[in-house]
Amino acid sequence: MLSARLLTRRSVVIAIIVGTLVGALLIASRRLDEFCPAGDYCDALVGMRHKVPASNAENVSVVESDPHHQEQERPLETPVAQPAADPSCENFPDTSNVLLVMKTGASEAYSKVPTQVLTNLRCLPEYFIFSDMDQHVAGVHIHDSLDTVLPEVKNSSSDFKLYFRQQKCAADQESCDKYADTAAEGWALDKYKNIHIAEKAYNRRPDYDWYLFVDADTYVLWPTMVEWLKQFDPTDPHYLGSVAYLGNTPFGHGGSGYLVSQAAMHDFFHGKTNVANRWDSETTGECCGDLMFSVALKEETGVGVNNTWPTINGEKPFTLAYGSSQWCQPITTMHHIGSEEVSEFHAFELSRNFSSPMRIKDIYHQFVEPRLKPFRADWDNMSDDWMYVSKELYLHLEEWQRDRVKQKQLSKTEEKAHLNSASCREACENHDDCFQWKYEEQICSFAASFKHGRPAKPSTKMAERALSGWNVNKIKAWVIEHDDCGEIVWPNLE
């Protein structure tokens, strides 16, 4: 009888201990979920918790195919929406019909992607980032865009030197690239990405209305972008960009970003395999991936690029040329924008509650107007619309500079403009079309628009210094006269 009672008590104690342990494990698994949102360690707890992707870019589970076979994909997980409680996304527009596809490189990804993820990409329901190496940066899966390039092209071209070195790197990429010219190598490699990226993006997500292709140093003004796209029918074939030319071939400048509609992407890739591979060999002899994308799209579908500059723009707040051609127009993208600038511009959009549209003049008022002053030394305000030089120096100029030198019908102040910075400033002040001037290496340059510019290399020799000035009163008067823009005017399509 005594032993039976002891057994019962022992059973109760054991049951209590087991129950306590199970409860502790359940509580721990929930707490761990707070510290490991990617689910890597949470899943180890006997399968108690479901794995949750860490970010929107992690929503794809893909098996990369042999380059001679169509990509096969596993069932796609449901995209993870941004937290509804995130106050920074409260007024963000609905971008669910636009897929952002970002291009970067392994040598720059860690310096550019994290800030984008925390700001410009933060509220997107889904996006892709492609590179020249498979990586995880800031919790985001960055996909290798070049794994499907034809092996014979990769193995025979020196363009892929960086690609193979990155694969073999036994340390961090920065250390492995320390003694290499990664800028030149990255540029040579970059041109193979664009068509492969587009094909991969469409194969993974074939149902978006719009596909927006950008670089990692591109900033997208989403509220204005969304409003603008409402003007178009995505079932019509569209390829929109800021047009550049190589010879007589037009293409959408990749850094500015380019948009491709559902209809154009469907005609480009639907029901086809290895489209990008058809262009691998030809790309070897060309300069640029954005050029090759345009050539391939035109040949495959007959769709050419529509110029939508300055709404799709390749400049940024400090390099935009403010004036009649860039003032009241809406703007949807900017390029060459560094991480600090991305953060500052995102804060500006937050302060506006993501109001739309953003006009170019709004950027001037926020970023340039507070910094406007008559003169800056060791500064390049990028004045280069027309120039004044001595006859002797003219013979030594580059061709593009000679084309901009004004030589006829000079006023008295223009005749002296090349002598020194004071004469250059005086000539600008007396010229009806001049808003700003720059004097450097005995060249006096004027601009019919106004830019903030950037620092120039300092020098102890006055003759080598870049000196920049602005006609502040003229600029302020022009701004007052043109600040009332009226109704928004979107770019016309050809």
pLDDT tens per residue, range 167-191: 999 999 999 999 999 999 999 999 9
Tell whether the model's pLDDT for residue 145 goes beyond 80.
Answer: yes
User: Would 88-366 and 375-470 be classified into the same CATH topology?
Assistant: no
- pLDDT tens per residue across span 312-366: 999 999 999 999 999 999 999 999 999 999 999 999 999 999 998 999 999 999 9
Please name the helix (run of DSSP H) or strand (run of DSSP E) that holds residue 386, with its range, or none.
strand 386-388
DSSP string, 309-328: TTTB-S--TTT--BBTTBSS
What is the mean pLDDT of the segment spanning 225-254?
97
The candidate with the shortest Cα–Cα distance to 479, out of 398, 387, 385, 360, is 360
Beta strand ranges found along 61-196 (DSSP E): 62-63, 72-73, 98-103, 127-131, 135-137, 140-144
Dist. CA 154–CA 161, nearest whole Å: 9
Q: What's the mean pLDDT in 240-268?
A: 98
Report pLDDT for 19.
Answer: 56
What is the per-residue pLDDT for 46? 32
Task: Find the helix or strand (DSSP H, E) in which 3 lies.
Answer: helix 2-35
- Residue range 386-404, pLDDT digits in tens: 999 999 999 999 999 999 9
CA distances 225 to 210, 238, 359, Å, are 11, 15, 12
Note the pLDDT of residue 15: 54
Which pLDDT does position 494 carry in this prediction?
A: 72
Q: Domain 88-366 adopts which CATH fold?
A: Spore Coat Polysaccharide Biosynthesis Protein SpsA; Chain A (3.90.550)
pLDDT of residue 8: 52
Which residues are within 8 A (CB) of 243 and not within 5 positions of it... i.e. 6 or more apart? 250, 251, 252, 253, 305, 307, 309
pLDDT digits (tens, 9 = 90+) for 423-454: 999 999 999 999 999 999 999 999 999 999 99
Q: Which amino acid is at 308?
A: T
Burial 304-340 (b: 16+ CB within 10 A, else e): ebbbbbbbbbbbbbbbbbbbeebbbbbbbbbbbbebe
Phi/psi at 252 (nearest 5 deg)? -80, 120
Q: Is the pLDDT at 17 greater than 80, yes or no?
A: no
Read off the pLDDT of residues 186-209 as tens digits, 9 standing for 90 and up: 999 999 999 999 999 999 999 999
Q: How confident is the model at residue 238 (pLDDT cuts 50, 70, 90)?
A: very high
CB 119 within 8 A of CB 346: yes
pTM for the structure as a whole:
0.83
Q: Average model confidence (pLDDT) for the chain?
A: 87
Structural domain spans, the chain? 88-366, 375-470
Q: Is the model's pLDDT at 23 over the cut of 60?
A: no
Angle at 68 between CA 63 and CA 74, to 5 degrees: 20
Q: What is the CATH code for 375-470?
A: 3.50.4
Is residue 221 scored above 90 in pLDDT? yes
Gap between the Cα atoms of 322 and 447, Å rounded: 10
Note whether 56 and 80 are within 8 A (CB). yes
CA–CA gap between residue 336 and residue 315 (Å, rounded): 7
Residue 97 pLDDT > 80: yes
Residue 416: what residue type? K
Q: Provide the pLDDT confidence category of residue 463 given band limits of 50, 70 and 90.
A: confident
Amino acid 74: pLDDT: 39
What would the two tokens of residue 102 be?
A: 């970002």
pLDDT exceeds 60 at position 246: yes
If DSSP codes are grouped into helix, strand and coil, which group holds residue 161? helix
Condensed to tens digits (0 to 9), the pLDDT of residues 302-318 reads: 999 999 999 999 999 99
Stretch 267-283: mean pLDDT? 97
Please classify residue 37 by burial: count the beta carbons closer than 10 Å to its beta carbon, then call 0-12 exposed, 13-18 middle and 19+ buried: middle
